[in-house]
Structure 1
Amino acid sequence: MTVSADNAAVGSRIPEAVHRRRWAILGVLMLSLLVVVLDNSILNVAIKTISTPPPVGLGATQSELEWAINSYTLVFAGLLFTAGLVGDRIGRKKVLLAGLVVFGIGSALAAESGSPGELIAYRALMALGAAFVMPATLAVLMNVFEREEQPKAIGIWAGGVGLAIAIGPITGGLLLEHFWWGSIFLVNVPIVIVAVALMVWLVPDSRDPRPGRVDPVGVVLSVIGLVLLVHGIIEGGERADFTGPDVLATIAAGLAVLAVFVWFEKRSDHPSLDVTYFRNKVFSAAMAAIALVFFALMGVTFFSVFYLQSVRGYTPLQSGLLLLPLAAAQMIFAPRARLVVDRFGNKATTTAGLLLLAATLAAFAGFEAGTPIWVLEAVFFLMGTAMAHIMTPTSVVIMQALPREKAGSASALSNTFRQVGGALGIAVLGSVLSTAYRGGIEDELRLLPAQLREKAGESIEATLGVAARLGPRGEALVGPAHDAFLHAMHVTAVCGSMVAVIGAVVVAVFLPGRPSAPRKDGKEQQLVATE
């Protein structure tokens, strides 16, 4: 069945057979989203295990751990532009299926990684598949729901992220208690198989009747620019010195390539990033809010794992259970956030969410080794509540700002800004954490042999690992390591909170106060759907 632009204004714009099973389709899309988000939330609780020397882990350094996360994020973000265009052009269902298969293969290979380098490479392969999954899920959603149901569907879709956040750490903890660390990746494979089977059966295909062409030059420029920029930041943090000529040169080269990327896209007749979208101030503000939120959140999430496991002494499973309030709040409030928007408007809802997020991040600056656990749980719950009231309204604003046939491009842009913000958050705030930790522990490491001193200063896990090898002589390092990490966490939390405040200012100035009334002319709702 095909509905074209010519007859879209006549009757329902969604084929009746598709409309009847739209909620089942949403379930399949959420399963596809689940496996992509699940991977990162599982990885968070496994960071400490992977940093443990073989045979328990891979002995990854903090820099290698950051790259295990950022290799995924950078490839994902760099290819989202093209993934959205390819989906709009050849069909979103096709790219969803292909992306899931590649993601499953990458997961199986990552599970068998023999070194941090292999893990980084296979994570990049997983990202290649995920880049084609994530934007297509939201694009298909926009093409199976009428406009009046889209905010509700997007809220449920966003709640699926909370479900993945809840399931991921618990699943990861259970797997790590009974199996080797690679099981956290292998668990993706059966989920992928189920998702592919259901998608073939239920999900219709959709595409843009006037698609753009793929932009290989833009893709290459964006990937190179992001990799150079983040690599320079990570290197500066690892050395505790951002003034080195090679670090500054790498960061400057990344910024220069990204500037060339923007210049090229503005002049291209088939850009991977259509910069004209950003003439809409509301659209731009929503994009900036997403980037800043994930910049702050991902950086803080990175250190919270070490706080729970290295300082507080919780197991991976216990750490996963402690993250439940964050996930539960997202699951509860994300589908209902549209009701708050209807009453108070996008501006008030999103601004309040960002200020609440800033407050919860700042709360980490007061956490110590003996802070009551209920306080941490309350902060996590409030953090999830804040996220639900940021992600749902901004996602609706972004997806409804562009015509329905451009849903793939809109979704790709939203996810790109989220991933780039998260990657830079891990890199920048991870570097702040590393620099502050090194500065706090270096005096305690002066008595160590030179070859151990450099290694022990990389992270709290490295220090505790060296202390364990030294036996009774190393016990004197444990207390200072905890103190140095807590100080570094406090500094990093304040930085993350300040970024969230900046996001609140942006949306308070530019987002509309009330949701705009739905258009009745149907011009933005044109659709090509095939079943």
Structure 2
Amino acid sequence: MTSQIDASKTSQQVRRRWLVLAIICAAELLVVLDNTIVNVALPTMGVQLQSSFSGLQWVVDAYTLSFAGLLLAFGHLGDRFGRRRVMSIGLVGIAAMSVAGAFAADLGQVIAARAAMGVFAAAVFPATLALIINIFTDVKERALAIAAWTAMAGFAIAIGPSAGGFLLQHFSWHSVFWINVPVALVVLVGVLVAVPESKASHVGRFDSVGLVLSLVGVTGLVWAIIEAPHLGWLSTISVVFYVLSALVLVVFVWWELRNPSPILDMRLFRIRRFSLPALAIGVAYFSMFGFLFMITQYFQGVMELSPLEFGVHTLPFAASIAVGAPVATVLAQRIGTTALIVTGLVIMSSGMLIAGQTKVDTPYFGPVLLSMVLMGLGLAIVQGPATESIMSSVMLDEAGAGSAVNDTTREIGGTLGVAVLGSIMASIYTTSVKPVVDAVPDTLMNPDQKNFARETVISVIEIVKSPTPALFESAKADLILNLKTFALEGFQLASYVTVGASILCAVAVAVFLPWSPSSGDSVLLVPGRSTRDETH
């Protein structure tokens, strides 16, 4: 009888753990959805708000930059004050700032709302993985839970463009903000009702100096990269920002190495099973976010698809992530993390190489579809095993901080991907397009239309719609073809950058990360850390 009661209690505990996992994954879905759903709305925003290319970059990067910059801080705050508590505050904030974004009337207000949403998303995201690590103590269960967590990112990418496309098909771009509100509130109720509170048993002094240094250094560098196509890559102001940002980041590393309670424990990077997978995730998200940003321009500016059609066309990319992530995490338990990370990076680079060969008349069913599947599959193969390796390298007391480092590498990689790859594409495009657009008579394009055409290939949407005398239809068609061709030339150069970064990272992982599933560094390389954690 006692054994039956014990078995019943165990079964209830198992079901409760997986229920909690579902709620946590729903919170993750909300955060990742905010990263993807807005991409579909960029062309519509660009047309209605007459935004520059860098303005559209900031709509994306305002969120990811504030998100990345504060992940470490909120990871530590969750360890200190309770992960569920910090997550709940974040969910309330996302809902409130989404309302602000929905009422935004110009690009500046949109960017401000996105930045504020990123702040509160940073409160939610580290807590998701930290809670999973503390709730699932069994090694196999934890691997499956992390696999579900990584698969949810793929699912969010899958429904993000499609959901955004559906909303834009029936409503204005403001709807991509409204959709967050009910989701955030439902998840908040689930968190308060079912998710147990957990926090570290011992925490040090909060590292406010490290937080400020990291924010200043990363923000300055990203700003310089995004504005480089307009200011000049080697202009005085760009070079000054490069140098100052680099100096601030050097001071940040120096400070963190000497601080007894750093916001980013640099000693973790001595652990190869932590540092190399973190590098791989950063490079993978650099490629993915840059790819998503550029393919938005391609599908809507070059292929002239509607937002809903764009969302549907990206489903193979997302589906390959959703399917590949959990499978890769489970395989890593058998054949090792290194083999899968190297394989994933090589597959990603091959997908981006194929994508870079896309021409205006390249069919979707062929190279374009293949490149998306390879990119998605490569990302899935990298992120699941890499995340499991990172989180297995930290103590329970550092679960929030470790999760924040894992998430920070993703977001900084993604932010730099949009900034660097978007700016490369913009530089090639604007330089090539300027003389062509300047030659168009003012009677056919007014100065505002010309400025928009010089900034982004999304201007094709408006050019196609604008009435043109029959005499100039041929010239209009040539202009549209030139705009599309120059955009794809920028896409090609940017793709080569991602290929090079992925291959170099794959070589580094292959050489320095142990290939055996059981060999490698131990968490004990980070001395003086408690393994205790409080969960109740």
Normalised by the size of structure 2, how large is the TM-score?
Answer: 0.91
Question: In the alignment, residue 533 of structure 2 is paired with which amino acid?
Answer: L
Which of 19, 39, 44 is equivalent to 1:24?
Answer: 19
Match of 1:460 in 2: 457
Match for residue 318 of structure 2? 327
Find out whether 1:232 has 2:224 as its counterpart: yes
User: Percentage identity across aligned positions?
Assistant: 34
RMSD: 2.3
Within-5 A mapping of 1:81-96? 81-96=72-87
SS of equivalent residue, structure 2 residue 105: coil
1:529 to 512, 526, 535: 535
SS in 2 for 1:114: coil
Q: What secondary structure does 1:270 align onto?
A: coil
Cα distance in 2 for partners of 1:143, 1:16 equals: 19
User: 1:333 offset after TM fit, Å?
Assistant: 1.9
Q: Deviations over 1:229-283 (max 9, x none)?
A: 11111111234x2111011111211111111111111122221111111111221
Return the match for 1:45 from 14, 34, 40. Answer: 40
Measure the CA separation in 1 of the matches of 2:204 and 2:106. Answer: 40
Partner residue of 1:508 out of 504, 507, 510 = 510
- 1:140 equivalenced with 2:131 (yes/no): yes
Q: In the alignment, is residue 397 of structure 1 matched against residue 399 of structure 2?
A: no
Match for residue 413 of structure 2 among 412, 421, 428: 421
Report what 2:286 is aligned to: 295
1:463, 1:477 within 8 Å by CA — same for their partners in 2? no
- In structure 1, what is the Cα distance between the partners aligned to 2:308 and 2:523? 51
How many pairs does the alignment contain? Answer: 511
8 Å Cα contact 1:289-1:506 kept in structure 2? no
Q: Give the conservation status (yes or no) of the 8 Å contact 1:330–1:384.
A: yes
- Structure 2 counterpart SS, 1:457: helix
| TM-score with structure 1 setting the length | 0.92
Any conservation in 2 of the 1:329–1:381 contact (CA below 8 Å)?
Answer: yes
Q: CA deviation at 1:15?
A: 10
Letter in 2 for 1:296: S
Shift of 1:491: 1.3
State whether residues 347 and 508 of structure 1, in contact with CA within 8 Å, keep that contact through their aligned partners in structure 2.
yes
One of 488, 491, 504 as aligned partner of 1:489: 491
Deviating more after overlay: 453-462 vs 117-126: 453-462
Is the CA contact 2:334–2:517 (under 8 Å) kept in the aligned structure 1?
no
Asked if structure 2 preserves the Cα contact closer than 8 Å seen for 1:225 and 1:255, the reply is yes
1:173 aligned onto 2:179: no
Contact 1:109–1:122 at 8 Å: present in 2 too?
A: yes
* Contact residue 238 and residue 431 of structure 1 kept, 8 A: no
Output the CA distance in 1 between the equivalents of 2:273 and 2:508. Answer: 10
Structure 1 residue 405 displacement after superposition = 2.0
**Aligned residue type for 1:399:** M
Mapped partners of 2:531, 2:262: distance in 1? 23
Provide the residue aligned with 1:4 in structure 2: none
Q: Name stretches of at least 5 consecutive residues in structure 1 with no aligned partner.
A: 1-13
For the residue of structure 2 that corresponds to 1:273, the secondary structure is coil
- Secondary structure class of the residue paired with 2:198: strand
The letter of the residue matching 2:169 is E
Among 498, 501, 520, the residue aligned to 1:499: 501
Which letter maps to 2:535? A
- The 5 A counterparts of 1:27-426 are 27-53=22-48, 58-148=49-139, 149-239=141-231, 241-375=232-366, 376-426=368-418
1:286-341 superposed Cα distances (whole Å, 9 cap, x missing partner) = 11111111112211211101111111111111111111112211221211113322
| CA displacement 1:324-362 (0-9 Å, x = unmatched) | 112211221211113322332111111010000000011
In structure 1, the partner of 2:4 is none
Give per-residue Cα distances to partners, 1:85-134, cap 9 Å, x unaligned. Answer: 10001110000100111011111111111111011111111011100101
Partner-residue secondary structure (3-state), 1:211: coil
Q: Cα distance 1:16–1:255, how it changes in 2: closer, same or farther (>3 A)? A: farther
**1:422-445: per-residue Cα shift (whole Å, max 9, x none)?**
111111111100011122222312
Distance apart, 1:17 and its partner CA:
6.9
Provide structure 2 residue ranges, at least 5 long, that are not aligned to the other structure.
Answer: 1-8
Q: Deviations over 1:450-474 (max 9, x none)?
A: 9555543211124664676683457
Structure 2 distance, partners of 1:101, 1:491, is 41
Which residue identity does 2:46 align to in structure 1?
S
SS of aligned partner of 1:204:
coil
Tell me the SS of whatever aligns to 2:326: coil
Matches of 2:439 and 2:224, distance apart in 1: 30
Alpha-carbon shift at residue 18 of structure 1 (Å) = 5.3
Supply the distance in 2 between the matched residues of 1:313 and 1:514 (Cα, whole angstroms).
Answer: 48
* Partner Cα distance (1:174, 1:500) in 2: 33
Contact preservation (8 Å) 2:301, 2:459 = no
Q: Is the 8 Å Cα contact of residues 237 and 430 (structure 1) preserved in structure 2?
A: no
Equivalent-residue separation in structure 2 for 1:305 and 1:35 (angstroms): 21
Q: Secondary structure at the match of 2:305?
A: coil
- Pick closer, same or farther for the CA change 1:323–1:466 going to 2, 3 Å: closer
Cα distance in 2, alignment partners of residues 172 and 70 from structure 1: 18
Within 1, Cα distance between the matches of 2:171 and 2:150? 31
Letter in 2 for 1:170: S
Aligned counterparts of 2:498 and 2:290: Cα–Cα separation in 1: 7
What is the CA–CA distance in structure 2 between the aligned matches of 1:278 and 1:20, rounded to whole Å?
A: 36
Q: Name the CA distance, whole Å, in 2 between partners of 1:338 and 1:271.
A: 30
8 A contact 1:61–1:462 mirrored in 2 = no
Distance 2:95 2:388 in 1: 30
1:379 offset after TM fit, Å?
2.4
